[in-house]
Amino acid sequence: MDLKIEIEKSQTYAEGGAEAILNVQPNSSISIAYHNLFGPHDDLMLLELDDKLLPDILNQRVTLRGQPDEDAVLCSQSKTYAIKFVGTSNSVFLIPPSDLPITHGDSPNSSEKHHDNLTVVSVIKVVPGSMELVEVAPRLDKLKLLLSENPYGFDEVSQMDTEFAHKNRGLYTWNDLVEKVQASDEELRTGLRALSAVEIDGYWRLLDENFVDEILNMLLHDAVLNDWPLSALNEDEVLRVLEADGFPRKIVRHCLEVYGSKVDDDTRGGCTWRLEERPVCVHFARVILRGKKMKLERFMEEWRKKVPEGMSASFDVLEGEVLTEKLGIETRIYAFSVSSLPSMPAERFSKLFQEKPKWEWKELQPFVRDLKVPGLSLEGLLLKYTRRTQPSMDAEPIFSAR
């Protein structure tokens, strides 16, 4: 296609639209001139899209999220995309459609003929590049930080004036979190579930650890008192009894969801729950180890006393929740939970190697297997952020900082 280009800002041309370019026939010519409003137009940018995202863009199912001090991300309903600028060495002209109301004052008709009998179209901007979208993991560390500001505790249960209780307390509604956290709606809901957050009076809250401990201990006490099997707890009965003990029904039911699972049992009537071994055992281990290191033998003794009868206090359930260290012949244990670590790989590995300069694979795996980076496997992350050594073929691989 022969395309004749004329750009002389001092001369006035007819203002043709993009349709003229689209309809250019093979072996024909067209003149391109400056638009009356030619300029930088920083509010106009090119965005390159994958075909699968196009319907979301056209149907306005995407949002830009980020605070003024953050790089903006684009979120669909289920994914988060970083926005990258990619420059080009070629000149790219933006030609507005002829029916775009962008001109000021009188202007000639679109796609008129110039004096040399060539169609003239008008360039509004020369763009230096385009924006590309790269799928990234949701940035949920901020969610954890926000909700940790003000956990819900027993002291709020007795407060009758909720409006007064919520003033200047740093609480966050769903809309607040959408505005502040760079994640899609679906990813944000998943993050709230992972943190065991609950919506109270329109605000998303974490429960104070001591409050949860009180609820679980009271539930176990009432189970013994009322001969409730921990594998078949009747929801209505549990809610009624614990409400009489001073615990809100909504919070008690939330704890059943966090520490149990529903059981299909038509014979008992109503909804039935089974307390699950791992979350209950992990909870009591956290309570015992809170803020201190202990001899392993002493910890196991106290832990077994705390764990409800019928549940096994097996050390395997604490994978990803504790670390041990050797001091001579003595082994000490302390809390180190994967849930407290950053979700971004670079920050995660930095934190891990600050804790221990060298990790055996069986130790490291529970603290990295939840990392999800679109387009990069766990093996790829290990190659990028760690150095692997193996003294012999039979030896356990050792990972250190790269």
Per-residue pLDDT of 350-374, as tens digits, reads 999 999 999 999 999 999 999 988 8
* Confidence (pLDDT) at 89: 82
The mean pLDDT value for 238-252 works out to: 95
State the DSSP code for 154.
Answer: H
Handedness of CA 131, 134, 135, 137 (dihedral sign): negative
At 147-166, the pLDDT tens digits run 999 999 988 877 654 554 55
- Cβ neighbourhood burial of 23 (10 Å; 0-12, 13-18, 19+): exposed
Whose tokens are 């000639």? That residue is 108
> The whole model's pTM is what?
0.82
Residue 287 confidence (pLDDT) above 90: yes
**Residue 293 phi, psi dihedral angles, 5° rounding:** -105, 145
The residue behind tokens 């020369």 is 126
Confidence band (pLDDT; 50, 70, 90) for 23? confident
Q: Is the pLDDT of residue 243 over 50?
A: yes
Q: Which residue did the predictor score with more confidence, 150 or 113?
A: 150
For residues 331-343, give the mean pLDDT.
Answer: 95
- Rounded to 5 degrees, φ, ψ at 31 are -100, 140
Kindly report the average pLDDT of the chain as a whole number. 86
pLDDT > 90: percent of the chain: 59
CATH no., domain 209-275: 1.10.10
Mean pLDDT, range 19-36, rounded to an integer: 78
Pick from 49-53, 80-84, 380-384: least confident:
49-53
DSSP string, 269-293: -S-EEEE-HHHHHHHHHHHHHTT-E
Number of Cβ within a 10 Å radius of residue 285: 25
CB 197 within 8 A of CB 205: yes
Q: Is 18 a residue whose pLDDT tops 70? A: yes
DSSP string covering 306-335: HSPTTS---GGGGTTTEEEEEETTEEEEEE
The whole-number pLDDT of residue 13 equals 41
- Structural domain boundaries of the chain? 14-100+116-135, 140-205, 209-275, 341-401
Confidence of residue 401 (pLDDT cuts 50, 70, 90): very high
What is the rounded average pLDDT of the residues 304-314? Answer: 90
Per-residue pLDDT of 251-280, as tens digits, reads 999 999 999 999 876 555 679 999 999 999
| Tokens read off for 390 | 């193996």
